[in-house]
């Protein structure tokens, strides 16, 4: 009886390790969505390389999950290539690439955009994803492993106007286009390419955006969560979290999603699916 119980526990433990032995690179993995995903991947048996500019945060997180850290500016092609090479030299292959690094913009009118700022944002949000796709695809095709998975972070701003600044919106729509195009080419190699598009997930980047929008420096995560839960979700009081996004990325990276490619998984509490919450229709 004791032996049966022990075997059952071991099987249950293995069944929850949805990425057992997989090797993953996560850009922007030091905090926010990237950090939540790195932790969840490691809990599910993956070997994780965190690529970021936040050296102390990234290195500490990597150490805590048995992973590796590398300083990486995704706008620089050589930096992204180095991150992929680290995964290859460390564990001999690459199974999952999560292109998550990105920045927001200050908004403002289309009539007075600072084009230097636009180019800088595009170099990170668009070129950064392109660099990740390029070198991940090379490694997956040449590595001799079965297939692979590339996931990118887009945004609800790519689906609806008015949810982000012009440059940010441009970049997030571009990511969707690149994802679909890459999925068309890489499917023959068994490589799946997908996106996640979060809406209003409280993070350091969103706090900064709200502070600029509201003109208040005292805005915090708790206040933003309340605002989003009340105004930007069809689920009353429910605000998305970095962990919600991490679980969606885990699903797309796992064998449970092995027939899904070219897909944009939206995490918005239904916000982009309706112009308003029409629950009043059903109230007596």
pTM over 0.75: yes
Detail the DSSP E strand segments found in 159-276: 191-198, 264-267
Fold assignment, 19-199+241-267: Rossmann fold (3.40.50)
Cβ–Cβ under 8 Å, residues 37 and 29: yes
pLDDT of residue 31: 94
Q: For the chain, list residues with pLDDT below 70.
A: 1-15, 203-219, 221-232, 275-284
pLDDT of residue 210: 57
From residue 182, give the alpha-carbon distance in Å to each of 132, 233, 238, 262. 12, 31, 34, 8
pLDDT of residue 206: 65
CATH 3.40.50.720 domain range(s) in the chain: 19-199+241-267
Residues belonging to the active site: 168
CA–CA separation, 1 vs 135, rounded Å? 51
pLDDT of residue 261: 98
Using the 8-state DSSP alphabet, how is residue 154 labeled? -
pLDDT of residue 7: 42
């Amino acid at each position: 009886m004791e032996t049966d119980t022990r075997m059952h526990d071991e099987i249950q433990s293995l069944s929850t390790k949805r990425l057992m032995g997989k090797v993953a690179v996560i850009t922007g993995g030091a905090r926010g969505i990237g950090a939540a995903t790195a932790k969840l991947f490691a809990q599910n048996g993956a070997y994780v390389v965190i690529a970021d500019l936040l050296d102390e945060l990234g290195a500490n997180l990597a150490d805590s999950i048995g992973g590796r850290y590398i300083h990486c500016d995704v706008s620089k092609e050589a930096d992204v290539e180095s991150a992929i090479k680290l995964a290859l030299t460390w564990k001999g292959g690459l199974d999952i690439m999560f292109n998550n690094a990105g920045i927001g913009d200050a908004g403002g009118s289309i009539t007075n955009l600072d084009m230097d700022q636009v180019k800088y944002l595009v170099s990170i949000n668009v070129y950064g994803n392109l660099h990740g796709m390029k070198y991940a695809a090379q490694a997956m095709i040449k590595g001799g492993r079965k297939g692979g998975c590339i996931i990118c972070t887009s945004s609800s701003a790519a689906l609806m106007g008015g949810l982000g600044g012009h440059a940010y919106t441009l970049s997030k729509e571009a990511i969707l286009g690149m994802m679909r195009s890459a999925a068309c080419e890489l499917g023959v190699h068994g490589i799946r390419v997908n996106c996640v598009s979060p809406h209003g997930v409280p993070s350091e980047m969103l706090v900064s955006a709200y502070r600029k929008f509201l003109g208040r420096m005292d805005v915090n995560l708790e206040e933003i969560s309340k605002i989003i839960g009340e105004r930007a979700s069809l689920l009353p009081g429910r605000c998305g979290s970095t962990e919600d996004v991490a679980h969606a990325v885990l699903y797309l990276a796992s064998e449970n999603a092995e027939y899904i490619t070219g897909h944009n998984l939206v995490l918005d509490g239904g916000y982009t699916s309706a112009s308003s919450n029409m629950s009043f229709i059903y109230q007596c």
